[in-house]
Amino acid sequence: MKHNTLKPFPADFLWGAATSAYQVEGAWDEDGKGPSVIDARQHYPEGTTDFKVASDHYHRYKEDIALFAELGLKCYRFSVAWTRIIPDGDGEINPAGIDFYHQMIDELRAKNIEPLVTLYHFDLPQALMEKGGWANRNTLNAFVRYANVLFEAFGDKVRYWLTINEQNMMILHGNALGTQDPNLENPVKNLYQQNHNMLVAQAQVMQNLHRRHPQAKIGPAPNIALIYPLSCRPEDITAAFNYNAIRNWAYLDAAVWGRYNTTFWRYLEEKDALPHIEEGDMEILAAGRPDFIAFNYYTTQTVEASRNDGTDSVARSKTDQHLRSGEEGVHRGAKNPHLARNAFNWEVDPVGFRNTLRAIYDRYNLPLIVTENGIGAFDKLENGTVNDDYRVDYIKAHLKQMQLAITDGVEVFGYTPWSAIDVISTHQGCSKRYGLIWVNRDEFDLKDLKRIPKASAKWYTNVIKNNGID
Ligand code: BGP
């Protein structure tokens, strides 16, 4: 649809930026923090370091928040490290961990920056992992308790909460994100048991927050990428329909409507991966209601009909959750010939962003917030500056499409691009940078960890000032 005039971004739009605890904080074993699955990881991709120091935000959060304020950020999305609050996941509470986040939230509030807090972003306590991780019902209860501890401590200070970051990626790409145990007899069944337990935990947590702090708002934060059919061949349409249900809607249907969708359920049945559902679970699912939907968007995906000849998943990446998918007998991953790619081969699709916003809003009719969007690149610091024009181009193109979606009628109340400052990439270490602010370190040399706003930060400041792009 061609619009003659564009609707402006809402006046109180939450212009922000995002990070996650394990990728930015460092101080991995300080002040009583316990080890998470990330800290316990034995193998890192070749040439990349660990997350032990990361961007040293734990020690420099004041300096960082001051920079965020200079940039004009109205909102900062960060995650709480579960293992700072409860070092072994389900035991004693660590007051130093609570203190740290109190200070951080107070600092944000003092600078008029709205905190947007993710309860859990990939960093499960290692002690819980050793007891079976999310497949063990104990983790569900531990998560509900941990969330209650956070609500108790910060419920009066935090208005916006996110439950679980990219639950769908943890389940669909268990290989890449370390949730899949290849030694199990049926690792896929185990993954979907984890999924079920996370869904129930999430629903319970949403209900608990609403009970305790009716003024606060909470929502899920999956990665949503609209699935395109490679062609208008009806079989390709069916494949896209199926994969949308399995990759995207399964997670949001459960969060919003409290039920599994039929396509997804049939898929689980076919794979012998139906979860064990305890009495009362479906009631908990139905009673949990999000106030909004948060989602991370990097790109769309394209699929065609399965050939079921043993080659459907050959193009699937084992190490990168955003590269091509494909599952034998379900769908084949395809390259979209209309899209350019970034340095890491991810397809870049700003129009797909509008399409994705539209699809989510049409289906659920809830306010949306975009909690990640950005471009990973090999940035270079030259003569004291980083000219990341490609990042400006990427974000600008996506904002244009977001404004079109708003003009289409979609209700969007915030945007927190990935990432506020350089963080350690989940798979490619710190040479793959996303930040608006440079952190002066490389993989193995911590240098001075100095913060230097990039060209994109300066550009983004103007966007915030103008409440949108020119
Ligand atoms: C999302 C994660 C983030 C971040 C981002 C970029 O899936 O929520 O934690 O890592 O992807 O991914 P990567 O670092 O692999 O490029």
Q: What residue segments make up the domains of the chain, in order of their start?
A: 14-465
Write out the catalytic residue numbers: 372
Kindly state if the Cβ of 169 falls inside 6 Å of ligand 1. Answer: yes
For 469, the token pair is 């792009």
Q: Which atom of ligand 1 is nearest to the CA of 298?
A: 11
Kindly state if the Cβ of 194 falls inside 6 Å of ligand 1. Answer: no
Q: What is the pTM of this model?
A: 0.97
Q: How many C-beta atoms surround the C-beta of residue 90 within 10 A? A: 16
Kindly state if the Cβ of 55 falls inside 6 Å of ligand 1. Answer: no
Q: What is the pLDDT of residue 179?
A: 77
Q: Identify whether the C-beta of residue 422 lies closer than 8 Å to the C-beta of residue 433.
A: yes
Ligand 1 pocket test, pick from 426, 427, 433 with the greatest ligand atom count within 8 Å of Cβ, gives 426
Kindly state if the Cβ of 139 falls inside 6 Å of ligand 1. Answer: no
- Residue 426 C-alpha to ligand 1 middle, in angstroms? 6
Beta strands at 437-439 and 451-453: parallel, antiparallel or unpaired: antiparallel
Beta strands in 11-59 (DSSP E): 14-18
Q: Which residues contact residue 82 at a Cβ distance below 8 angstroms, ignoring those fewer than 6 apart?
A: 36, 89, 119, 120, 123, 124, 125, 146
For residues 255 and 198, what is the distance between their CA atoms, to the nearest angstrom? 10
Q: Which atom of ligand 1 is nearest to the CA of 23?
A: 9
Kindly state if the Cβ of 168 falls inside 6 Å of ligand 1. Answer: no
Closest CA to 114 of 214, 12, 14, 21: 14
Q: What is the number of alpha carbons within 13 Å of residue 169 lying toward its C-beta? A: 23
Beta strands at 347-348 and 331-334: parallel, antiparallel or unpaired: unpaired
Q: What is the pLDDT of residue 321?
A: 61
SS3 325: coil
CA distance to 186, 205, 283, 441, per residue, from 280 (Å): 26, 15, 5, 50
Q: What is the pLDDT of residue 315?
A: 66
Q: Identify whether the C-beta of residue 154 lies closer than 8 Å to the C-beta of residue 80.
A: no
**pLDDT per position in the chain (470 positions), as tens?**
788 899 999 999 999 999 999 999 999 999 999 999 999 988 888 888 899 999 999 999 999 999 999 999 999 999 999 999 999 999 999 999 999 999 999 999 999 999 999 999 999 999 999 999 999 999 999 999 999 999 999 999 999 999 999 999 999 987 767 777 778 888 899 999 999 999 999 999 999 999 999 999 999 999 999 999 999 999 999 999 999 999 999 999 999 999 999 999 999 999 999 999 999 999 999 999 999 999 999 999 999 999 999 888 876 665 666 666 789 999 999 999 999 999 888 999 999 999 999 999 999 999 999 999 999 999 999 999 999 999 999 999 999 999 999 999 999 999 999 999 999 998 889 999 999 999 999 999 999 999 999 999 999 999 999 999 87
Q: What is the pLDDT of residue 44?
A: 85
Ligand 1 pocket test, pick from 321, 425, 431, 433 with the greatest ligand atom count within 8 Å of Cβ, gives 425
Ligand 1 pocket test, pick from 55, 116, 179, 372 with the greatest ligand atom count within 8 Å of Cβ, gives 372
For residues 320 and 221, what is the distance between their CA atoms, to the nearest angstrom? 19
- Residue 308 C-alpha to ligand 1 middle, in angstroms? 31
Kindly state if the Cβ of 22 falls inside 6 Å of ligand 1. Answer: no
For residue 22, is it left (φ>0), alpha (ψ between -120 and 50) or beta? alpha
Q: How many C-beta atoms surround the C-beta of residue 73 within 10 A? A: 27
For residues 429 and 55, what is the distance between their CA atoms, to the nearest angstrom? 12
Kindly state if the Cβ of 296 falls inside 6 Å of ligand 1. Answer: yes
For residues 397 and 350, what is the distance between their CA atoms, to the nearest angstrom? 6
CA distance to 151, 205, 415, per residue, from 369 (Å): 21, 19, 6
For residues 315 and 335, what is the distance between their CA atoms, to the nearest angstrom? 10
Q: Which atom of ligand 1 is nearest to the CA of 425?
A: 14
Q: Which residues contact residue 114 at a Cβ distance below 8 angstroms, ignoring those fewer than 6 apart?
A: 14, 16, 74, 75, 76, 108, 159, 160
For residues 92 and 81, what is the distance between their CA atoms, to the nearest angstrom? 15
Q: Which residues contact residue 164 at a Cβ distance below 8 angstroms, ignoring those fewer than 6 apart?
A: 118, 119, 120, 198, 201, 202, 220, 221
SS3 359: helix
Tell the residue nearest (CA) to atom 3 of ligand 1.
426
Q: Identify whether the C-beta of residue 461 lies closer than 8 Å to the C-beta of residue 71.
A: yes
- Residue 19 C-alpha to ligand 1 middle, in angstroms? 10
- Residue 143 C-alpha to ligand 1 middle, in angstroms? 22
Kindly state if the Cβ of 49 falls inside 6 Å of ligand 1. Answer: no
Q: Which atom of ligand 1 is nearest to the CA of 165?
A: 8
- Residue 322 C-alpha to ligand 1 middle, in angstroms? 9
- Residue 425 C-alpha to ligand 1 middle, in angstroms? 6
Quote ipTM for the complex: 0.97
- Please give the CATH topology (third level) of the domain spanning 14-465: TIM Barrel (3.20.20)
DSSP assignment, residue 423? Answer: -
Closest CA to 399 of 456, 469, 303: 469
For residues 403 and 286, what is the distance between their CA atoms, to the nearest angstrom? 33
Element (H, E) at 162: strand 160-165
Kindly state if the Cβ of 299 falls inside 6 Å of ligand 1. Answer: no
Closest CA to 299 of 397, 210, 217, 201: 397
Q: What is the pLDDT of residue 295?
A: 98
Kindly state if the Cβ of 173 falls inside 6 Å of ligand 1. Answer: no
Q: Identify whether the C-beta of residue 201 lies closer than 8 Å to the C-beta of residue 277.
A: no
